[in-house]
Chain A
Amino acid sequence: MFHPSSDRWSRLIYLSAVNIQKSLLLARISTQNYRETAARCKCSATARSLHTTAPLRPAEPRCGVSELHAHGVRTAGRRAVRCRLESSRSSSSSSSHNSKVPQFPTWEPVAESQLPPPTKVSLDLVDKLERLALVDFGNQEGIVCLEKAIRFADQLHVVDTDGVEPMDSVLEDRALYLREDTVTEGDRAEELLQLSKNTVEDYFVAPPGKNKAKCNV
């Protein structure tokens, strides 16, 4: 669990690291290529973790809720310094920073302890969902994907929604247009039947239901 107080310390430490190392690193920066997307992703992920203690969104591959682990300040500090220098380099090259635009991420991290226990999808549940959805999981990877999706959704529970009415539609405060109950188009059965792969006369053909199929002699 990441303590708020240690966050303050780590910020102090990394800020002083910036001051000490800035002149040394400036020379290195000009020869390094910061344009690799992958490097930038990693870089911003580290910067994220320092600025906001832990990112809300998945930072590591295939993780629904980001893990809260204390990054080694020394190594993270150096990488974070590069990020900060990159941003200061680009901002210094354009007009000075606008005070209305927040310079740091403002998201509050969500701790693991705030979430309900992770859901394990049982074989029964797999069976039930496959029957309801008429879509199969495929394999274990499918189940893992679902567990991650559920874990991601578990973050809903940190929001206080006491007394809040659920919202179905953004148009809830309007009366929707209803037209006259008269037939204005139709008679296109032939055209529509042509879209199907298996028809007989005016019918779409479907095999019998599972139970009926079982009883079939």
Chain B
Amino acid sequence: MLGTTIREVSLALREGRLSATELCKKCLKRIKKTHYLNSFITVTEELAMKQAQEAEHRLLRGKPHGPLDGVPFSVKDNFCTENIETTCASHMLKGYCPPFNATVVQKLLDQGAVLVGKTNLDEFAMGSGSTDSVFGPARNPWSYTSSYREQSPEQDPDSDWVITGGSSGGSAAAVASLSSFMALGSDTGGSTRNPGSLCGVVALKPTYGLLSRHGLIPLVNSMDVPGIITRSVQDAATVLGVLQGRDEKDSTTVQFPNLATSLPEDFDIRDICVGIPKEYHAPGLSAETLTQWGRVASMFERAGAKVREVSLPHTQHSIVCYHVLCCAEVASNMARFDGLEYGHRSAVESSTEALYATTRHEGFNHVVRTRILSGNYFLLKQNYDRYFVKAQQIRRLIAEDFRRVFQSGVDVLLTPTTLSDAARYSDFIQEDNRTRSAQEDIFTQPVNMAGLPAVSVPTALSSRGLPLGLQLIGQSFQDMKMLTVAYWMEQQLGFPIIRFHDAAERNTDERDQGEECKLRS
């Protein structure tokens, strides 16, 4: 039952075949069972049961709020949730309980969805592994599946578990491990799509300006968007339909006229032109990912879609440009953490400067501090033109590259999401955070620079038994059109459902699958 999609479980709830409280209990039990994944920072058990009970009353009366009523979800811990601790996985905000809900969280709660917990991430969403959190790293649920364990040379899963990817690793793991039906992540340089690809779930980055950022603790104001993680493309479209729209509290949201709220019924793949940007074969791309990329391109061709090679010439400079702009905006955004109004405050009271400096030293980890210092360097008067403005100029060139390709008749672009499948934690930490981010974000961050929508679709399992994903990039505000192509792709690929290796887990799996059959009938 936990492995079903939102569509299926919502129908079961509305038809009375399943109760909201029973579903909530199962999810909470699942969270407890998979606590070793470290995907949750806070589990909101009482609140979730209360929300589930309210949903049940509505469902019994036949008056659900909508397709998400009674459906459990989780939220990345950099979204503000009223009276629920919001830490950003940092000492700086440990114990911080916001007095308001982020707009996207509020919208889900208004629809009757049930919040089960706040998920783990890299500190302040800086990272591509979910390994730099004060609560410890998040583990990829696929580390514990039969497909991985059976071919792994190690007997002990504690020694060779793989990373979730980042920075929304906890959210992706929560959905992949069947603890939630949907999760909110944030995407600044690929932070939703990267873990989505490594954890084998659908990860959507909407167009910049479509979803409100109010309540999302900012990293890079000009690139951040809330991301949506689900187990099926149809579900992602449902959640997008609920969350999109202008918010008075976020002036960077756009009211786009005639925005579709669901996937169109009439769709012919032969009308679609898929572009393959040649610069997305970057050094380090794994052979298996390359094979899948080719396989899916052929799949589109065989079905009658037009597939052609295109060029985005400034792609390889995008990661450097992102590095500079990200550090610069981070330096500015992190300035609000001074210990006075909220968050951690150091005991040093000799002067304001000393208070600020020690608070920030104690509150931030090495990664955050380095980015702040780099950002301040790039923003110095003597460097401003050579680094910051230069990066902004390159940003325009990158956005222009995309615009030109889409204007030439291409509907969507097909690219890899990550270089390869998930790395072992022990290998991943051999390099520092900045190096890893520079390697792992290459396919995802150009999309943030241009503000376009993109979705990572689980494609196949690698020879190590781990998920591989491919990315579709769409045109601005054409999110539903892009998702329609993704839906078609998903239907053709038939990505396997996760199967845990542990015998006890398997028994639960089999029982759940039996219930799933009953639900689907």
Inter-chain contact A58/B287, CB cutoff 8 Å = no
Known contacts A100-B307, A135-B369; is-contact A41 B427 (Cβ 8 Å): yes
- Please, which residues of chain A bring their CB within 8 A of the CB of B420? 37, 40
> Count the A-B residue pairs with Cβ separation under 8 angstroms: how many?
282
Instruction: Tell yes or no: B508 within 8 A of A by CB.
Output: no
Known contacts A41-B427, A51-B283; is-contact A192 B341 (Cβ 8 Å): yes
Inter-chain contact B327/A149, CB cutoff 8 Å = yes
CA distance A63 to B439 in the complex (A): 12
- A178–chain B nearest beta-carbon distance, Å: 7
Inter-chain contact B291/A148, CB cutoff 8 Å = no
Q: CB within 8 Å of B: which of A96-128?
A: 97-98, 100-108, 125, 128
- B413–chain A nearest beta-carbon distance, Å: 12
Instruction: Tell yes or no: A3 within 8 A of B by CB.
Output: no
Inter-chain contact B435/A62, CB cutoff 8 Å = yes
Inter-chain contact A101/B281, CB cutoff 8 Å = yes
CA distance A68 to B7 in the complex (A): 54
- Please, which residues of chain A bring their CB within 8 A of the CB of B394? 156, 159, 161, 164
- Please, which residues of chain B bring their CB within 8 A of the CB of A183? none
- A119–chain B nearest beta-carbon distance, Å: 9
Of residues A34, A58, A104, A133, which shows the largest number of chain B Cβ atoms within 10 Å of its Cβ? A133
- Please, which residues of chain A bring their CB within 8 A of the CB of B369? 135-136, 138, 142
Inter-chain contact A166/B393, CB cutoff 8 Å = yes
Q: How large is the interface on B (under 10, 10 to 19, 20 to 34, 35 or more residues)?
A: 35 or more
Known contacts A37-B423, A56-B316, A206-B340; is-contact A105 B434 (Cβ 8 Å): no
Known contacts A35-B463, A188-B99, A213-B350; is-contact A170 B356 (Cβ 8 Å): no
The segment from A13-21, A70-78, A195-203 found at the interface with B is A195-203
Interface of A is mostly: loop
Known contacts A62-B431, A166-B389; is-contact A142 B370 (Cβ 8 Å): yes
CA distance A98 to B354 in the complex (A): 61
CA distance A104 to B282 in the complex (A): 8
Indicate which residue in A83, A149, A205 contacts B323 across the interface (CB closer than 8 Å). A149
CA distance A83 to B288 in the complex (A): 11
The segment from B49-57, B229-237, B245-253, B492-500 found at the interface with A is B245-253
Q: CB within 8 Å of A: which of B254-310?
A: 254-255, 276, 278-279, 281-288, 290-291, 293-295, 297-298, 301, 307-309
Inter-chain contact B314/A159, CB cutoff 8 Å = yes
Inter-chain contact A100/B434, CB cutoff 8 Å = no
Instruction: Tell yes or no: B507 within 8 A of A by CB.
Output: no
Residue of chain A at shortest CB distance from B340: A204
- A158–chain B nearest beta-carbon distance, Å: 8
- Please, which residues of chain B bring their CB within 8 A of the CB of A52? 283
Instruction: Tell yes or no: B47 within 8 A of A by CB.
Output: no
Residue of chain B at shortest CB distance from A170: B451
CA distance A56 to B432 in the complex (A): 17
CA distance A162 to B395 in the complex (A): 13
Inter-chain contact A134/B353, CB cutoff 8 Å = yes
Inter-chain contact B464/A102, CB cutoff 8 Å = no
Indicate which residue in A132, A171, A192, A198 contacts B376 across the interface (CB closer than 8 Å). A132
Inter-chain contact A91/B287, CB cutoff 8 Å = yes
- Please, which residues of chain B bring their CB within 8 A of the CB of A87? 287, 290-291
A-B CB contact pairs (8 Å), 7 listed: A37-B424, A44-B283, A98-B301, A102-B278, A161-B394, A167-B392, A167-B399
Which positions in B face A, CB cutoff 8 Å? Answer: 96-97, 99, 151, 153, 208-209, 222, 246, 248, 251-255, 276, 278-279, 281-288, 290-291, 293-295, 297-298, 301, 307-309, 314, 316-317, 319-321, 323-324, 327, 331, 335, 338-342, 345, 349-357, 360-361, 364, 366, 369-370, 372-378, 380, 386-387, 389-397, 399, 420, 423-424, 427, 430-432, 434-435, 438-439, 442, 450-451, 463-464, 476
Which 7 residue pairs of A and B lie closest in terms of their CB atoms, listed nearest first? A170-B451, A166-B392, A87-B287, A48-B283, A161-B393, A167-B396, A98-B294
Q: A130-B357, A207-B350 are in contact. List 12 more A-B contacts (CB 8 A).
A: A44-B284, A51-B283, A57-B439, A61-B431, A98-B293, A102-B276, A134-B335, A135-B361, A136-B357, A156-B317, A159-B394, A204-B341
